[in-house]
Structure 1
């Protein structure tokens, strides 16, 4: 379901924290989850924030001023029946044509998609020959930047990437699927681009088929986690795209 977290195990402590964000008098939003992190009693979050030059109190104050900073779905995309989705926007300091070429190039997917370590393009790869329906095989990142190994389940190590939409210079869509995971659902990542003052506004939407029947009801306790992780996923993608042009 989540690209950057697929194949990883959640501790009971993390599950409990995220569950509280969707409890009584909580809306299960990314902001609610973030507030729970700020109140986490071990001191780990406070230490990390101190290292980054801020404090839990400063984060909570920012949320009180503008809770929309962590809201997924800030864009006005219509909901699609039978699919779960989240949307966000990001500003990129580059012309819309250059951003489109970056997002439509399979060779650059690992530069913006969290968790991907490599993609097999072939020795004769040429971006001019890329067309709709083409697929590539990608591999999950198994080593952190500091060299430490990452635990990724075998079913999530391999991913098939398909180009499903490429309308120059305003729209690009990619489909990601896990061929080794029978229960896995394909994930659609859509980008809509528009020229704006000083650069490009990128509208990002990630979506996947909704589980039906009892499976959908059984997943209710983890929906706050889904909202938070979707926001985190889109935030990471937006930041990565912007960094590529800085």
Structure 2
């Protein structure tokens, strides 16, 4: 992935997670504490640094609530913080805005030059901006979590210095994208979710009514309408998708092959999910792969249009990864 594409994907992921966390408090405006939680949940070195300091998602949410209560009580205002609830972002379908402080922090991660390196707009730059934000809110939250901004900067530098770029294994002839995600639970819990065919609708919202049809094969029907309300083809045959479990090595790897027997436009593809323990939870690598077409002309056409398809497949992988994560947040 190019540096620009990586910056855009990071901005998308942090914005989405920030909005999800804001919705837990019934907020329609994203603030720096929601951005901090998004960085904590991020799979990049910034999130790794915070988690390696022993910061968990539940502890961070509690510290944020306590700091808000402390600030309000200091001016004689009590009981104004709405109790944290579940994520309602996708139910409300509301537009979220950024507070001026959060906007300045987020935008600052992609501007200017630092003393030793150019800002890249990645999660590490966002974390550095948060550690330096002038209100002192994040610094106070870190103190409540038993650490401080200096330790955060030092740990981030350590992890960045030893982080190597690891590219997923794939054949050049294949159309493939990979999305890395941090999930705040054990690898065993994630494996139990993604390897259970009966729970496919819990993370693949396009599937429903899962039915066992063979030794390692299950069928599901696509919903009758797209998320925007537009109806799908009325034929159930064209809405039928088949899930074939190709590999399940507990608790580290699951591979599903997904096909659409009644729809010639939708091509079969594989979803490979790799899991390994990390500080505070599990690192998940979700790879979507469309195999090489045997027909030479279609293969040549596919090679030509591949650059345009990569972003679409990345969105698919990012969406499925997010849905898996939401089951544990």
Sort the TM-score into its range (normalised by shorter chain).
0.5 to 0.7
Tell whether the 8 Å contact from 1:86 to 1:230 is kept in structure 2 after alignment: yes
Question: How many pairs align?
Answer: 192
Q: Residues 89-238 of structure 1 correspond to what in structure 2 (within 5 A)? A: 89-121=180-212, 134-143=216-225, 148-152=229-233, 154=235, 156-182=238-264, 184-211=266-293, 212-219=295-302, 222-238=305-321
C-alpha spacing 1:218/1:144, structure 2 compared with 1 (3 Å): closer
- Structure with bigger helix share is 2
Which structure 1 residue ranges, 4+ long, deviate > 6 Å from structure 2? 30-35, 57-64
> In the TM superposition, what is the alpha-carbon distance from 1:30 to its structure 2 partner?
8.0
Deviation string for 1:74-104 (max 9, x for gaps)? 7522222542211111011111111111111
SS of residue paired to 2:275: strand
> In the TM superposition, what is the alpha-carbon distance from 1:143 to its structure 2 partner?
3.2
Aligned to 1:45: none
**Which has the higher relative contact order, 1 or 2, with Cα contacts under 8 A spaced 6 or more apart?**
1
Q: Which runs of 5+ in 2 are unaligned?
A: 12-93, 112-118, 124-164
Q: TM-score, normalised by structure 2?
A: 0.49
State the structure with more CA Rg.
2
SS of residue paired to 1:225: helix
Alpha-carbon RMSD across the aligned residues, in angstroms, is 3.7
SS of residue paired to 1:51: coil
> In the TM superposition, what is the alpha-carbon distance from 1:181 to its structure 2 partner?
3.0
> In the TM superposition, what is the alpha-carbon distance from 1:170 to its structure 2 partner?
0.5
Q: Which runs of 5+ in 1 are unaligned?
A: 1-25, 36-49, 123-131
Counterparts of 1:183 and 1:145, CA distance in 2: 20
Counterparts of 1:230 and 1:191, CA distance in 2: 15
C-alpha spacing 1:60/1:214, structure 2 compared with 1 (3 Å): farther
> In the TM superposition, what is the alpha-carbon distance from 1:179 to its structure 2 partner?
1.0
- Structure with bigger strand share is 1
